[in-house]
């Protein structure tokens, strides 16, 4: 049973930190840090979608890029399919990269405007020496068709495509090596609503077909609810709540999650829900507050909250929260 549980976990992240050094000011000698990711732990199972939500600047994108080692972590461990990827270098890291891919938010800026679509989508096959010549072309055409594009598109340039088509190119490039894990960083937020639905459906079909695990990063709570099996809520570099998507959306346990969910428009106009307005802006990640990082904006705060940092605890099965109100 345990062996099966271990096999089912694809990614295991423990105590991940990423601090960016910054100078404090032109006249100041001292160096400070932006505490972008400040000790997060989570895992992703095979075939699972973990959604990561939070306000902009909370560390979501840095978390996604760090687990792919596009950014080097400051501390913590990242285990992918049983391999400690923080120790990998050279060929070992390159091989692993073929199994972990990313889809970026802005398809236009993530595609080289001087390259034809065939070269963009086929580039991973070159880098990882997987196919060349006619074999490579066939694989590119096949994946283009799978994402809803045509053979002729290999000769076009990104500027000749619509936003939706460009995002399909980004997806084709990400899955051409049949990865195990795909990080989608705001994968549909740059697209029109009607195109968003098509791209979401495509991502879901591909997950089924290629047995993909997803980490979907978004500020869009409705998208995260729709796509995710489990959801992690991030605030100022830390996870404040993580749990099964359904439970978390029905019964949020953290005041920050509760406030975020209260802002989602309800489809049924007869149902009234009080919108919780968060006071002020999140504190600077260069100078996080003492105790609970959320205390300056929390309407439930009490004395301990300013002094003692709450740790993530399992309150219900599989549902973790970092708040003194929850024991
Ligand atoms: Fe609010 Fe205190 Fe819970 Fe932080 S620990 S979320 S300040 S009640």
**Residue identifier of the C-alpha nearest atom 7 of ligand 1:** 295
Classify residue 293: in a domain, yes or no. yes
Average pLDDT, the chain: 91
Which residues are paired to 184 by β-bridges? Answer: 103, 216
Strands (E), 46-112: 49-53, 75-80, 83-84, 100-103
Classify residue 188: in a domain, yes or no. yes
Classify residue 118: in a domain, yes or no. no
CB-based burial, 54-75: b 16+ in 10 Å, e otherwise: beebbbbbbbbbbbbbebebbe
Classify residue 158: in a domain, yes or no. no
Q: How far is the CA of 271 from the centre of ligand 1 (A)?
A: 28
**Residue identifier of the C-alpha nearest atom 5 of ligand 1:** 323
Classify residue 145: in a domain, yes or no. no
What is the domain count for the chain? 1
What is the per-residue pLDDT across 251-302, written as a single tens digit (0 to 9) for each? 999 999 999 999 887 777 776 778 888 888 889 999 999 999 999 999 999 9
Give this prediction's pTM: 0.92
CATH of the domain at 82: 3.40.50.300
**Using CB atoms within 10 A of its CB, is residue 233 exposed (0-12), middle (13-18) or buried (19+)?**
buried
What is the per-residue pLDDT across 140-186, written as a single tens digit (0 to 9) for each? 999 999 999 999 999 999 999 999 999 999 999 999 999 999 999 99
Task: Strand 238-244: give its sheet, edge to edge.
Answer: 100-103, 181-185, 213-217, 49-53, 230-235, 238-244, 319-321, 313-316
Q: Ligand 1: does its nearest atom lie under 6 Å from the Cβ of 252? A: no
Q: What is the DSSP letter of 224?
A: H
What is the per-residue pLDDT across 64-113, written as a single tens digit (0 to 9) for each? 999 999 999 999 999 999 999 998 998 888 888 899 999 998 777 888 99
Q: Ligand 1: does its nearest atom lie under 6 Å from the Cβ of 221? A: no
Range of the domain at 185: 2-23+31-99+179-326
Classify residue 274: in a domain, yes or no. yes
Classify residue 317: in a domain, yes or no. yes
Classify residue 167: in a domain, yes or no. no
């Amino acid at each position: 049973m345990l062996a099966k549980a271990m096999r089912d976990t694809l990614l295991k992240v423990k105590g991940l930190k990423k601090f960016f050094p910054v100078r404090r000011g032109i006249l100041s000698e001292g160096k400070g840090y932006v505490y972008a990711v400040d000790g997060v732990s989570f895992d992703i199972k095979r075939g699972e979608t973990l959604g990561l939500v939070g306000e902009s600047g909370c560390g979501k994108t840095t978390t996604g890029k760090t687990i792919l080692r596009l950014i080097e972590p400051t501390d913590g461990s990242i285990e992918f399919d049983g391999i400690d990827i923080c120790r990998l270098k050279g060929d070992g890291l390159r091989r692993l990269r073929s199994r972990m891919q990313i889809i970026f938010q802005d398809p236009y800026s993530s595609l080289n405007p001087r390259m034809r679509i065939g070269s963009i989508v086929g580039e991973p096959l070159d880098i990882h020496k997987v196919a060349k010549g006619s074999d490579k072309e066939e694989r590119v055409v096949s994946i283009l068709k799978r994402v809803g594009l045509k053979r002729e598109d290999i000769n076009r340039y990104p500027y000749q495509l619509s936003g939706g088509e460009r995002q399909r190119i980004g997806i084709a490039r990400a899955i051409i090596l049949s990865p195990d894990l795909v990080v989608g960083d705001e994968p549909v937020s740059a697209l029109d609503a009607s195109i968003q639905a098509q791209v979401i459906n495509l991502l879901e079909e591909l997950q089924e077909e290629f047995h993909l695990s997803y980490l979907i990063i978004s500020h869009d709570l409705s998208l995260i609810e729709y796509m995710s099996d489990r959801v992690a809520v991030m605030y100022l570099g830390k996870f404040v709540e993580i749990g099964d998507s359904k439970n978390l959306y029905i019964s949020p346990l953290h005041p920050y999650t509760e406030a975020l969910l209260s802002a989602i428009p309800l489809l049924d106009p007869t149902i009234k829900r009080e919108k919780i307005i968060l006071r002020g802006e999140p504190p600077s990640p260069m100078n996080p507050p003492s105790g609970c990082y959320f205390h300056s904006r929390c309407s439930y705060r009490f004395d301990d909250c300013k002094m003692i940092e709450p740790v993530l605890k399992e309150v219900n099965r599989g549902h973790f929260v970092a708040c003194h109100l929850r024991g």
